[in-house]
Structure 1
Amino acid sequence: MLQAQSLILSASKSEQKTNFNHRSHMAIKKLTRANTLATCVALLCAQSSISVLAQEPVPDFEKLGTIKLEEMIVTSQKRQESLQDVPLSVSVIDGTKLNEAGIENLEDLSMYVPNIHFTETGISTQVRVRGIGTDNSQGFEQSVGTYVDDVYYSRAQLFRAPMFDLERVEILRGPQSILFGKNSVAGALNLTTAKPTDVFEGYFSLSHEFEHEQDEFNGVLSGPLSENFRARLAVRYYEEDGYTKNTFSNEDEPSTEEETIRLTLDWTPLEDLSFLLKFEQSEFNTKGRAFEITHDEPQEGRTTNFARTLTSLSQPALDSELNFERQADYPEFSNNNLSNITLTTKYDFNDYTLTLVTASVAFDYIDQCDCDFTASEVVHLELEEDYEQFSQEIRLISPSDNTFEWIAGVYYQDYEQEFDDRLNILGSNLLPSLAQVNPALASFVLLADTSLDRDFEQSSDTWAAFAKATWHVNDKFDVSLGGRFTREKKSASKVIDLFTPGTDEVINDPLLGFVYLSAFRAENEQATVSFFPGTVGQPILNGGYNVSGNRSESSFDPQLILEYHLNDETMLYGSYTTGFKAGGFDPRSNKVGAFASGTAPVNQVDEKEAFEFEDESSTAIEIGLKTSLADGRGEINIALYNMELDDIQISQFDGGVGFNVGNAKETRVSGAELDGRWLLSESVIANFSASWLDFEYEDFKNGNCYVGQVPNGVDTTGDGNLDTCDYTGKRGVYTPEFTLNLSLSYETNVYGDVDFFGFIDVQHVDGHNVHVNLDPLGEIDAYTMLNARASLEINNFSISLLGKNLLDEKIISYSANAPLSDSIFGTNTFYSLIRRPRTIALETKYVF
């Protein structure tokens, strides 16, 4: 309810234009640059409100007669609304800020949005909002739903797609089950790509980073092809040498090459009818990885760590210092392809809007990993995945500005998935040679020239119906009520077999099967002979691994929102929302009963039940305040929230070569957030935010134990011994208590047609645990990130210097135990992903 002009970020075609003519472009920048980013300085009330990191325009001071913030219009509720009027916790970053801050992927966003975390792991990209997210598993959908042009991206692999030529990114916190729906238990990311324009325009940009030889090219052409037909072509190419040195191969890693092309066609055959068709194809490939060994010590009662053990076996030296150096002997790569075809049809009639979104999304990748993270031949993995998804959404929106407003729709989605990973042990592998130095491992000689293969297939069908209505009781009080019914069916199968490397020839050798069971904790089809009769206390060692299952589940999720406007500048709101994410099947566990919580012997565990994990759900209560201060020069938003989550889906490393999936029974997350922006002068604007997060597992007794931890959870094998660990009362991974952000931007005319623009962005993050099994040694210290940019703009040309992580912080973003370091070598050894060190890039850009 600010009394100011409106900047429409997503509205009619005329409002979607971005005029790249020099003088119009400079005018837009003067309106846009003033709000560079959010993030602040005070701890209090953190996590929910609306952090506008989008560069928000500074108004025409001569017309207004005073300095005021420009009103922001967003579409996070599928309607055009002032950001200050949205009774949700939303952060927005517009396309200008994305470009100027060099935000190239989802991980870069965490620098600018409070209480959100992104990190790449060995096999996925994880996204968390308010501490809630999804772990490593190709069987998981995401607890934080990601939507690109209203199309749901269900798989973590899709998060690795490059981000470019975007109109904006909206981050919604808390369950978004009504309008976004599919699996948005913790929040949603809503990405909107730039659309074709009514006038011919475009730009070309080229940047070079000096330390790691990063080169990036972006090009855009947009404009009309006829009176009612427009097109936009966007291309991106990126390459870099890598920021970690592999001292074994003397190569910088990971070397990266990314290519993306997007063609968007906009046809308006009638004034009230439009078709928007988007084709997108991406290839993003890497060689090597950024993982290194960062911790290496012997287990209690032993004297030799992993490095000394390898040296004693005449293996290459292992470096466990945090120094951006690693060792790997096996050629590593990741080759990824992504395609997206989306057709959006809109028809306006009698002030109603009917929208149909039809989409086909597919990806495939091949990964080869030296997953022992040493220069010795121990664990070499090959991973392949193919995924195809089709979705259709139909929604109808009522006219705005009536006493009653509503939106209703239906949604359908299906997908097919194939995932296969294979552990290859060639004749030169270290494991068979261990038989010569350790009589207890004599059977390892059988491992030479064999492979362990996990073959997983899954399919799913989902449909949903949703509606939301708002009653404007009077000019101060609004009531919104919504609901979504979802029905989902899944079927999956999985088999673990032994093969001859490089072939499809199955090795039917029960003894070899039991060697794999002993060495890798991997049940398999070949190990089907019992060493015991199966009586209580003497469970069958293994019954093979060939399982399949079907699931069918449904959920109804309601939402209630109350809004009260104290005056034109201040709004209070409260909301009650639930969220739901369906259960599924575990593709990477090597043990049929890995997460069985009963006391039955393994041979009595229902294989299909153990193969599955259950649905997760959330219930959130949030209250907030949004207000404008100092005659429109400032805004402050406060939000408090509490979330209760049941059966969070958890994936934890088993110490061998597998990940076990199950559910944490009860979890509580609460917190607060303060954020805002302030126009300090005609040339300077500040954005700030602070978040506080309290996270606790209230009932989670079947967690994987970290190395050296004494089991105190449950007995999953029926042998009378506890073999899991109780995580009840602990904080989860990636849950810093406090996060503070501050951004200052400055713009001025230097002389004539020469303008200067600069910003400084600072983020401080509290210490938190980054180890997948919550090993206390995985706790990292608090850190501070500093980014900055300085630009000179002359007519249609600009040159900029951009620095990231200018304090050169060494930040571990992910840690886990090196495979087999615990089970075979008797050590507690971490491999970790280190975030990129300081980078300084020079960018040139030409706009027309």
Structure 2
Amino acid sequence: MKIITNKKSLRKNKLALAISASLLLSGGAIAEEAAKDAKVAKALKIEVIEVTARKKIESIQNVPMSVNAMTGQNINDLGINDLDDLSTFVPGLEQPTLAIQSRLSIRGVSSGDNASFEQSVGTYADGVYRGRMNQQRAGFFDMERVEVLKGPQVTLYGNSSVGGAISMITKRPELDSEVTGDITVKYGIEYEHSQVMGGVNIPLGDEFAVRIAGKYRDQASGAAYNHYNQQDSIQAKDDAFRIGAIWEPSDNLSIYLRFEQGNFKTIGNNLDPLMHLNTDFTNKNDSPLIALGMGDDELNIGNGAPFTNGPDFSLVENDETMLEIVYNINDKITLTSITGSSNYDFTQAYDVDITPLSIIDTGQDETYEQLSQELRLAIDVTDKLDLLVGLYYQDDEFKNDFYSDFNMPLIVGGALAPAVKAGLMPAEFAAGLAADVSPFSRHANLDQNTEVAAIFAQIDYEFTDKLSMSLGARYTESEKTADQSIRLADVKHVDDPAMGELKDYSTLVGIVKAGAPYPPGTVVLPDYFMGYQLVAPGGTPHAYTDMLRKEEHSMFQASVRYQANNEMMVYANWANGAKAGGFDLLYEAVGGTGEEGAEFEDESANAFEVGVKLDWETVRLNIGAFYGTYDDLQVSVFNGSVGFNVGNAASSIQQGVDVELIWVATDDLRITANAEYLDFTYDEFNNASCSFSENPLGTANPENNRNECDWSGQQLPWVAKYTSVIAAEHTWEVSSDYNLTNMLSVSYKSEHTTSSDNEILTKQDGYALVHYRATLTSLENNWHVALVVSNVLDESYELYTSKIPLNSGAFAHTLNEGREITLELGYNF
């Protein structure tokens, strides 16, 4: 018997902490500007923060939108390895890790649970767009800063970034006179987490410099232990390196070349059976999941695919090359070229039945190759007028083979067990029926090419010293060609051999109508098809080739800013944009709906924001209020069987407020606070996929064999109304040679659903996470040591919940990591 035990209970009472103050968060300084105006010269207590949110260097207080920025030092201090970690400290940013996909969102706008969807939140590394989340798996290392741009970024960024954008800027080589660098070593005690990362800058003359950076991370333990295979779950290991070279042969020309490669691997599964309910919502006392430790943070999982006891795993191997050329044609015109090549291979095996038996296993093989080119021309037309114009082209190839393996004798036997137990069916007869249906694999495939071409422009005009305006536009054409299929294969993942006609078609009478489409040259064995109909009622094997989708979008963005005085700037902005549609990887052609049903439509966004940014000598306060409508929002909801219902919600409304506060209380103490209120509801969505609590009997719409409910007025999945982070940082001068810095942060998230079907039975209550860091720094010898405690109070909360396939009323949840104590040593040279 395999049992995975939650290890958090073993950590109780291990630690007693005396904690003093904390944390510098997103308001932390990115760079000190040379005093641009009288206010900066006077207000020495609050740093001027530089960002490139609008493709130019400017103070964050001059940007007419909500922006959170975090320095590379902040990222290291907070132990942020990836976007998931970053979301803990940036209200409104979320990246819940799902069983098969991950979904990145800003202000509730996300890409959904489908690998076919374009990214609603665009991620950009040194200006290179990353079209899929797997390109970001290597995480953060050797970073200059990260900027989180909230609200649609549809003109200067584009690429379907209707929710916002994340701009990641890596450290670049510097033309210094000597070699400099840094190295940091970390060890986490509870989860046996070790990490080494660093970078070195090597100048080679006055014109050329190289920077080499890398990281290695190994987590040998996880939130649970599997007694069956004696493995911790989830284990993780990743490594990455980056090499960049810059050449500046003259004051007018800069050429930067960067190559990056990374590997990200996880081993194990931490989905825990949570509960199993009858249709009247009472506990199912005869549930077979009870023996697996249901609801007590103990798991019993048979890992591997196809039908083996090998471990669940995921592996991403990625590489990226970018070339940036900046040429100052004269003192008023600058030409920038950014060429990017970004690729990855993703492999995954996952046991989705969450039992010790090999009942349903899934696996993916996914590849992505992307080539992009951007040209920008920045022109200082007059002292009051700036013009930015650009061209963009992208070509990418996406291919995913998704296998779902079904052990039909066990599935059929389990389905007949209640009848046998009730004496309604002889056991021998049930066993015979189960043996007649062979194990098989459903092989879903999407092979897609996308071409995108765009032209964009933005003008910035200063009417007076106080009043300015920006107008931007982007015109995009995209073309997608794709092959999509569902084939039935044996469990070795070999599609049935080409035998021409389907044999023994008469055995399928009553199961499928005559003339159902089948892949040309592919045989579907009768018992394979029978099994398929049992697990995916109405699904039809098919092969659609040369599907074509063309889109044209004109997108616009405008903003007005008014500098009332040295302390206050008010602004308003508006954006109207679109996110491209596409083809559904897991389209089942339920009911013979045909090729047209494989498409999902584009979605559109219309968003407004008004705000004020205030700066006093020791206090900074930024407030932004936003309102937006999203039409045809793309959604993907797990149907509780073996697939996802993909489509477009008619309309939704987003509204809320962002607040950021920085208070330099004394020379030694800084307080920061960030908060967001978000109300994001479906305005009209009357054909949503039902949750169990909405339709416990699973009554289906006879037209499409889907359980449909009206979600109009409901909050979107995973969206919490209130999120916040409050933090403090206190620095004590121990002596003339040493500083001791204590940092404490508390992040809060109010109640929210934790699954794509908005199930209220698994809703997570509000919770708070406390993080602490103490750092002793040698001012003379350039070293530091630190003690870091994450999740100080050992808080338990739901990261993600899901229906357990083919078990109506059964749910699983993921185990979060509890308290972690990390020791850190760093050295700069």
Q: 1:611 aligns with which of 598, 611, 632?
A: 598
- Quick one: distance in 1 between partners of 2:807 and 2:435? 19
- Select which of 218, 226, 248 maps to 1:239: 218
Once the two structures are overlaid, the 10-residue window that deviates more, 388-397 or 811-820, is 811-820
Q: Could you list the per-position Cα deviations for residues 486-530 of structure 1 after superposition, in whole angstroms to 9, with x for gaps in the alignment? A: 111001111211222225240766789979989xxx99756799x
Among 201, 209, 216, which residue is 1:230 paired with? 209
Query: Partners of 2:413 and 2:706 in 1: how far apart?
Result: 31
* Residues 172-201 of structure 1 deviation map (CA, whole Å, 9 limit, x = unaligned): 011100111111001000001110122311
Task: Tell me if the contact between 1:36 and 1:54 (Cα under 8 Å) persists in the aligned partners.
Answer: no
Secondary structure of the equivalent of 2:292?
A: coil
CA contact (8 A) 2:496 2:524 kept: no
Mapped pair 1:812 → 2:782: no
Give the aligned residue type for 2:606. T
Secondary structure of the structure 1 residue equivalent to 2:799: strand
* Offset, 1:393: 0.4
Query: Secondary structure of 2:96's partner?
Result: strand
Residue 326 and residue 92 in structure 1: after superposition, are their counterparts in 2 closer, same or farther (change >3 A)? farther
1:428-459 superposed Cα distances (whole Å, 9 cap, x missing partner): 85555766756679654344342221122111
- Structure 1 residue 300 displacement after superposition: 3.5
What is the aligned partner in structure 1 of residue 294 from structure 2?
Answer: 320
Classify the secondary structure of the residue corresponding to 2:141.
coil
1:274-300 deviations in Å (ceiling 9; x for gaps): 111111110111111232222222334
The one-character-per-residue Cα deviations of 1:678-705 (angstroms, maximum 9, x if unpaired) are 1111111111122111111011122111
| Percent of aligned positions that are identical | 30
- Could you tell me whether the CA contact under 8 Å between 1:37 and 1:112 is conserved in 2? no
| Equivalent of 2:367 in 378, 381, 386 | 386
3-state SS, counterpart of residue 212 of structure 1: coil
Moved more, 279-288 or 744-753: 744-753
Query: Do residues 485 (structure 1) and 482 (structure 2) align?
Result: no
Any stretches of 5+ residues in structure 1 without a counterpart? 1-33, 39-50, 312-316, 530-539, 594-601, 823-827
Q: 2:764 aligns with which of 775, 780, 784?
A: 780
**Residue 648 of structure 2 corresponds to residue 671 of structure 1:** no
Partner of 2:17: none
Is residue 837 of structure 1 aligned with residue 779 of structure 2? no
1:457 is aligned, of 443, 447, 450, to 447
Change (3 A) 1:812 1:56: farther
**C-alpha distance after superposition, 1:51-100 (max 9, x if no partner):** 5255777999xx97985212112111111111111101110001010011
Q: Distance in 2 between matches of 1:847 and 1:324?
A: 44
For residue 236 of structure 1, report the CA deviation from its aligned partner.
0.6
Q: Which whole-Å deviations, capped at 9, do the CAs of 1:582-617 have from their partners, x for residues lacking one?
A: 10000023x214xxxxxxxx44x3x22210000011
Q: 1:545 aligns with which of 532, 542, 547?
A: 542
- Classify the secondary structure of the residue corresponding to 2:692: coil
1:164-313 aligned at under 5 Å gives the runs: 164-199=141-176, 200-241=179-220, 242-300=222-280, 304=284, 308-309=287-288
2:748 to 764, 768, 771: 764
Residue 149 (structure 2) pairs with residue 149 (structure 1): no
The match for 2:620 among 625, 632, 635 is: 635
Partner residue of 1:506 out of 496, 507, 516: 496
Match of 1:78 in 2: 55
- Whole-angstrom CA distance in 1 between matches of 2:480 and 2:298: 43
2:328–2:335 Cα contact (<8 Å) kept? yes
In structure 2, distance between residues paired with 1:129 and 1:483 = 22
What residue number does 1:555 align with? 553
Indicate conservation of the 8 Å contact 1:300/1:708, yes or no.
no
**Rounded Cα–Cα distance in structure 2 between residues aligned with 1:210 and 1:238:** 14
C-alpha spacing 1:657/1:338, structure 2 compared with 1 (3 Å):
same
Counterpart amino acid of residue 368 in structure 2: Y
Report the equivalent of 1:626.
Answer: 613
Is the Cα contact below 8 Å between 2:30 and 2:49 reproduced in 1? no
**Distance between the aligned counterparts of 1:505 and 1:66, measured in 2?**
69
Question: Is the contact between residue 22 and residue 743 of structure 2 (CA under 8 Å) also seen in structure 1?
Answer: no
Q: C-alpha separation between the residues in 2 aligned to 1:59 and 1:472?
A: 22
Partner SS for 1:99? helix
**Whole-angstrom distance in 1 between the partners of 2:430 and 2:753:** 36
Q: Which residue of 2 aligns with 1:655?
A: 640
Separation in structure 1 between the aligned mates of residue 382 and residue 818 of structure 2, nearest angstrom: 50
Counterpart position of 1:727: 711
Tell whether the 8 Å contact from 1:406 to 1:467 is kept in structure 2 after alignment.
yes
Q: Report the Cα distance in structure 1 between the residues aligned to 2:22 and 2:289, rounded to whole angstroms.
A: 54
Matched, 1:707 2:684: no
Structure 1 contact 332–368 (Cα < 8 Å) conserved: yes
1:582 to 577, 580, 583: 580
CA–CA distance in structure 1, aligned partners of residues 664 and 337 of structure 2 = 40
1:739 aligned partner:
723
Contact residue 246 and residue 328 of structure 1 kept, 8 A: no
Evaluate the alpha carbon distance shift between residue 66 and residue 658 of structure 1 in structure 2; reply closer, same or farther with a 3 A threshold.
closer
Compare 158-167 and 660-669 and name the one that shifted more: 158-167
Q: 2 CA distance for matches of 1:67 and 1:614? A: 51
1:402 aligned onto 2:398: no
Compared with structure 1, are the counterparts of its residues 717 and 428 closer, same or farther at alpha carbon in structure 2 (3 Å cutoff)? Answer: closer
Q: Given that residues 175 and 184 in structure 1 are in contact (C-alpha distance below 8 angstroms), is that contact kept between their aligned partners in structure 2?
A: yes
Q: Which residue of 2 aligns with 1:24?
A: none
Q: CA deviation at 1:708?
A: 4.6
Q: Which segment drifts farther, 153-162 or 196-205?
A: 153-162
Q: What's 2:322 paired with?
A: 342
CA distance 1:174–1:561, shift in 2 (3 Å): same
1:756–1:185 Cα change, 3 Å: same
What is the CA deviation profile of residues 387-443 of structure 1, one whole-angstrom value per residue up to 9, with x for unaligned ones? 100000000112398210111101000111110011224588555576675667965
1:37 aligned residue: 24
Structure 2 distance, partners of 1:713, 1:501, is: 29
Deviation at 1:113, TM superposition (A): 1.0
Could you say which residue in structure 2 is the equivalent of 1:45? none
CA displacement at 1:134 relative to structure 2: 1.3
Q: Give 3-state SS (helix, strand or coil) of 1:768's partner.
A: coil
Residues of 2 paired with 1:510 and 1:300: CA distance? 42
Q: TM-score scaled to structure 2, two decimals? A: 0.87
- What is the Cα deviation at residue 247 of structure 1? 3.4
Find 1:377's aligned residue among 351, 358, 363: 358
- Quickly say closer, same or farther: Cα 1:58–1:494, change in 2 above 3 A: closer
* C-alpha distance in 2 between matches for 1:398 and 1:324: 62
* TM superposition shift of 1:273: 1.1
Residue 568 of structure 1: how far off its partner (Å)? 1.6
Change (3 A) 1:394 1:653: same
CA distance in 2, matches of 1:787, 1:516: 61
Tell me what 2:96 maps to: 119
- C-alpha contact 1:683 1:746 (8 A) present in aligned 2: yes
**Residue 309 of structure 1: SS of its match in structure 2?**
coil
Equivalence for 2:532 = none
TM-aligned CA deviation for residue 154 of structure 1: 1.2
**SS of corresponding position for 1:395:** strand
Distance 1:126 1:433, change over 3 A: closer
State the alpha-carbon separation in 1 of the partners of residues 298 and 823 from structure 2. Answer: 23
User: How has the CA–CA distance of structure 1 residues 324 and 471 changed in structure 2, closer, same or farther, with 3 Å as cutoff?
Assistant: farther
Gaps of 5+ in 2: 1-20, 305-310, 527-536
Query: Over aligned residues, Cα RMSD in angstroms?
Result: 3.0
The structure 1 residue matched to 2:463, chosen from 468, 473, 486, is 473
Match of 1:798 in 2: 784
Indicate if the aligned counterparts of 1:702 and 1:726 stay in contact, CA closer than 8 A. yes
Q: C-alpha separation between the residues in 1 aligned to 2:345 and 2:235? A: 20
Between the aligned partners of 1:396 and 1:796, the Cα distance in structure 2 is 41
Q: Which amino acid aligns with 2:469?
A: V
Q: Aligned letter for 1:412?
A: Y
1:196-231 Cα deviation digits (max 9, x unpaired): 122311112111101110000112111202321111
